[in-house]
Structure 1
Amino acid sequence: MSAQYNQWRAMIAVMKASLRAMFRSPSAVVFTLGFPLVFILVFGFIGTGRETVTIGFSQGTDTTSIMYKALCGNPALRLTKDKTPEEMEADMRKGRITAILDITTIAPPPQPKYKVTVRTSTSGANKIDYLWSVINTTTSRIDDRFNPRSSVAELHTDNVPGRAYTMIDFILPGMLAFSLLSAAVFGTAFLFFSLRQTLVLKRFFATPIRRGYIIVGEGLSRMLFQLIGSIVIIGLGHFAFGFTLVHGWVTFLEMLVLCVFGLVIFMGFGFVISSMAKSESTIPPLANIITMPQFLLAGIFVNVDAFPAWLQPVCRALPLTYLVDALRKVAFEGQHLWNVGLEIGVLTVWGIVVYAAAVKVFKWE
């Protein structure tokens, strides 16, 4: 008499086999274990980073005063140096500097008294409250040392008009840049891996078209598709949520030029991955190794300054950081393409490196 089939044992065997298969799948490991850990680490680092405010001092500020030295020594304040008063004023109106401080000594120690004028604009409204808390804390410490009964500082404000900097002005360029990165890397990698695996590329070789034209043709189709997406994102942000386009159509066209430039650079990563991948299931983990660090560290959701000091050089080495910065400068600050030469230059260096690697590893079959 044959033994009765054990359903529980069969179920456990199926479970073990399925579990073993999942651990052998790079995609499952990355999406299930890798991403949560990376998110916890990155946003944990943001929590430990110190928020900073960028300020400048007027030409007439008393740099020998205790108040000036105390503010300069505060790690929450980042000082703008080597700029003319006109340049600082322009930066303040654009939101790149939160405020310009003027410190005048009314009475010297041992009973010091200072007049502190804080000149700011609506562009820095998102950080002005934090700046005031830093100034008040600094003033209180000086009071405790010299005159606990009254404040050593007379605080005055001088508000000037500036562009209102909203959350959409910060978030939209970051999300637009990341959508370009994701589409270029994933789209190119999957496309050329599929064309090679299904022997479509091999069939192309039987036609008179040259290999370079095949790549350019496929690349142009991806570029046009993504440009349509970019137009929709910018248009929706501007008309529905008030996203700032300082110079109107000129700014819009300059943003599209930056989008095209970024797409060309990022597609190089896709070419490299399509050649490195051994199977279709290995493409997502490889692509996410490139895209996810940039998604988390390139300043899409929070300013790079919010990260710990040791992590900021890593953030500033990523190509997406420079595309995001360029888009923000063009869209909100009203700069033009020739004003973002540093960002374009760094992206160009990345493009040279990536395409040199792509030429080295790219496979046609």
Structure 2
Amino acid sequence: MFAIMKASLRAMFRSPSAVVFTLGFPLVFILVFGFIGTGSTTVPVGFTATSDTSSVLYKALQANPALKIIRNQSPVDMEADMRKGRVTAILDITTLTPLPLPKYKVTVRTSTAGVDKIHLFWSVFNVTTSRMDDRFYPRASIADVHTDTVPGRRYTTIDFILPGMLAFSLLSAAVFGTAFLFFSLRQTLVLKRFFATPIRRSYIVLGEGLSRMLFQLFGSIVIIGLGHFAFGFTLVHGFSTFLEMLVLCVFGLIIFMGFGFVISSLAKNESTIPPLANLITMPQFLLAGIFVNVDAFPAWLQPICRALPLTYLVDALRKVAFEGQHLWNVGLEIGVLTLWGIAVYAVAVKVFKWE
């Protein structure tokens, strides 16, 4: 078994296509999104449910193109986004005296995670209130401002993108790599010759599977390491978070390899493997929340998105990496992946062929 694993692993490291598809594509996406960073010039701000949205101050802030007003979001979600730096500030506007001489109490709630845009927010806010001061109170201020800063972690583009690209790299490598490998071994009768030797059939499959797992584990280490040290990808608990992400990668890879076993057995010839593999990988690439949060999809499409195994692996990686949760905290995601694994390997055992 270890001889098969060693030979297969050596062959993968010597294969340019295997290296490019495992490391090349994910690294390109990570580099692109890592350099993009947070280059937006607009400042996302929210307002509490009790804010006076009929006030002239609110309307003046709303009309400012430098501010992006967050709408239709629950207070809990807005608070969470503010602590992650997605929302720069949450304002509460209380009317103290109405027109024609309006006066407002403004409470501005921010977090340390939004430090990159908070200065821009204050610049916009001060310009807006100064203009209104000139209009209503030439020698006084319209707003009585109170501030409240809470601790938080900045949620960057790379924190969202990297777990998605890492999970999709595991999916595509497991499905395409396993399907092509075992189909080729079957077509060249190598698998049949293995079967004729004293080695157990399970060891043959395990040897090939372990080699692919080690190869992908190497790729995962490179991707996470580059994201963390080059672009500041968040690993909340440091090395322990890194190890937990690797455990999830191995778990996801084992399950995704089951799809490859099924395809390699169903394919009639080599040209039918890519369409079958794309039928499994492409919907998940588009709908599993790699580039856009699942909540952004239409309501009728979200149940489909949440039924895909890749969605749960991506969610688990993000929760462990940024939110600091542990493996026992992502039991739902691991449970759904386990159900997918049981189902797909039941099919794989049923259809697997040695020749």
What is the TM-score with the length of structure 2 in the denominator?
Answer: 0.67
Query: Which one of 174, 178, 186 corresponds to residue 168 of structure 2?
Result: 178
Label 1:274 to 1:239 Cα distance change in 2 as closer, same or farther (>3 A): same
Once residues 117 and 349 of structure 2 are traced to their aligned partners in structure 1, the CA distance between those partners, rounded to angstroms, is 46
SS in 2 for 1:205: helix
Q: How does 1:272-311 map to 2 (within 5 A)?
A: 272-311=262-301
Q: How far apart are the structure 1 equivalents of 2:203 and 2:250?
A: 18
**Which residue in 2 is equivalent to 1:189?**
179
Deviation by residue 1:304-351 (Cα, 9 ceiling, x = unmatched): 222222222222221111111111111122221112122111111211
Residues 111-131 of structure 1: per-residue CA shift (max 9 Å, x gap):
x99756352325468999xx9
Change (3 A) 1:98 1:317: farther
Mapped to 2, the partners of 1:182 and 1:54 lie a distance apart of: 38
Q: Is the 8 A contact 2:263 2:276 kept in 1?
A: yes
The residue number in structure 1 matching 2:252 is: 262
Do the aligned partners of residues 279 and 54 (structure 1) sit closer, same or farther apart at CA in structure 2, a change above 3 Å counting?
farther
Residue 313 of structure 1 aligns with an amino acid whose one-letter code is P
Counterpart of 1:77 (choices 57, 72, 80) is 72
Count of equivalent residues: 289
Match of 2:222 among 202, 219, 232: 232
Cα 1:77–1:280 shift into 2, 3 Å:
same
CA distance in 2 between partners of 1:360 and 1:100 (Å): 56
Shift in alpha-carbon separation, 1:182–1:54, aligned structure 2, 3 A:
farther
* Residues 99 and 121 in structure 1, CA contact (< 8 A), matched pair in contact too: yes
Q: Distance in 2 between matches of 1:102 and 1:299?
A: 32
Q: Is 2:332 the counterpart of 1:342? A: yes
SS of residue matched to 2:196: coil
Cα separation, partners in 2 of 1:55 and 1:196, compared to 1, 3 Å = farther
Please identify, of 117-126 and 182-191, the stretch whose mean Cα deviation from structure 2 is larger: 117-126
| Deviation of the 1:362 alpha carbon | 1.7
For 2:194 and 2:45, locate their aligned partners in 1 and report how far apart those are by CA, in whole Å.
56
Give 1:250 shift: 0.6
The one-letter amino acid paired with 1:272 is V
Mapped to 1, the partners of 2:223 and 2:303 lie a distance apart of 30
Q: CA contact under 8 A between 1:95 and 1:124: conserved in structure 2? A: yes
Classify 1:251/1:75 alpha carbon distance in 2 versus 1 (closer, same or farther; 3 Å).
closer
Aligned to 1:281, the other structure's residue is in SS state helix
Aligned to 1:217: 207
Query: Are residues 1:121 and 2:116 paired?
Result: no
- Note the alpha carbon deviations across 1:10-54, whole angstroms, 9 max, x for none: xxxxxxxxxxxxxxxxxxxxxxxxxxxxxxxxxxxxxxxxxxx99
Find the aligned partners of 2:308 and 2:325 in 1 and give their Cα distance.
Answer: 22
* 1:142 alignment partner in structure 2: none
Are the counterparts in 2 of residues 122 and 165 from structure 1 also a CA contact under 8 Å?
Answer: no
> Deviation at 1:104?
5.8
**Aligned-partner Cα distance in 2 for 1:278–1:98:** 56
Q: Residue 76 of structure 1: CA displacement?
A: 3.6
Q: Distance in 2 between matches of 1:350 and 1:256?
A: 20
**1:9-88 alignment runs, 5 A limit:** 76-79=71-74
CA distance in 1 between counterparts of 2:88 and 2:347 reads 42
Aligned to 1:242: 232
The CA deviation at 1:281 is 0.6
Name the structure 1 match of 2:347: 357
TM-score scaled by structure 1?
0.65
Pick closer, same or farther for the CA change 1:156–1:231 going to 2, 3 Å. same
**Structure 1 residues 55, 280: closer, same or farther in 2, change over 3 A?**
farther
Q: Closer, same or farther in 2 for the Cα pair 1:95/1:209, shift >3 Å?
A: farther
- Asked if 1:332 corresponds to 2:327, the answer is no
Question: What are structure 2's unaligned runs of at least 5 residues?
Answer: 1-43, 55-68, 123-135
- Deviation of 1:102 (Å): 5.6
Instruction: Call closer, same or farther: CA 1:321–1:95 in 2, change over 3 Å.
Output: farther
Q: Which amino acid aligns with 1:162?
A: G
Mapped partners of 2:240, 2:293: distance in 1? 26
RMSD of aligned Cα (Å): 4.0
Q: Distance in 1 between matches of 2:115 and 2:332?
A: 27
Identify if the C-alpha distance between structure 1 residues 187 and 155 changes in structure 2 by more than 3 Å, giving closer, same or farther. farther
Within-5 A mapping of 1:86-105: 92-94=82-84
In 2, Cα distance between equivalents of 1:305 and 1:127: 25
Determine if contact 2:165/2:290 at 8 Å carries over to the other structure: yes
Conserved? CA contact 2:45–2:70, under 8 Å:
no
Amino acid at match of 1:160: V
Q: Is the contact between residue 54 and residue 96 of structure 1 (CA under 8 Å) also seen in structure 2? A: no
Supply the distance in 2 between the matched residues of 1:54 and 1:310 (Cα, whole angstroms): 29
